[in-house]
Structure 1
Amino acid sequence: MTKNIGSVDRRLRLVPAVVFFVAWAGGLLSGTLLWVLGIVAAVSLVTAITGWCGLYTLLGINTCPLESPKS
């Protein structure tokens, strides 16, 4: 898998994951909302860690900067 998520995008994907885990730990979420936001947070966290997003691949989006050739 070629990385297609840039560093800014990766940091932005960490935000919902952190917010979810803080809200979950604080007992602010329950029921269906807990599960839905948990899945969104988990996907955001995994894509941020791996640097690859399947949806970006399908849509042809790449926010990862091009690597400059080594001289």
Structure 2
Amino acid sequence: MTNNVGTTDRTLRLIAGVILLAVTWIAPIAVFHGTAAVAIATIVGLILVGTALFRFCPLYRLLGKNTCAVK
């Protein structure tokens, strides 16, 4: 598993994922309408945080995209 998520991309994913998870835990009913929306937002937040932590995005691999700096 080679890294394909660069530093800027990683930072943005981590920030967006943490914000999404925080909103689903703090005020899920006020922001999202329905249980399905809360579940989807939680899953997307976890995926964003996970791809940021592991520096690997399976979708990027399928699309042939790489945001890492050339070494």
In which range does the TM-score fall when normalised by the shorter chain?
A: 0.7 to 0.9
Could you tell me the percent identity over the aligned residues?
34
SS in 2 for 1:52: coil
Q: Is residue 27 of structure 1 aligned with residue 27 of structure 2?
A: yes
Higher helix share: 2
State the 4+ residue runs in structure 1 displaced beyond 2 angstroms. Answer: 27-30
How many residue pairs were aligned?
Answer: 67
Give the letter aligned to residue 21 of structure 2.
F
Structure 2 residue aligned with 1:43: 47
Normalising by structure 1, we get a TM-score of 0.84
Normalising by structure 2, we get a TM-score of 0.84
Structure 2 alignment gaps of length 5 or more: none
**What's the C-alpha RMSD, in Å, of the aligned pairs?**
1.3
Q: Which has the larger radius of gyration?
A: 1
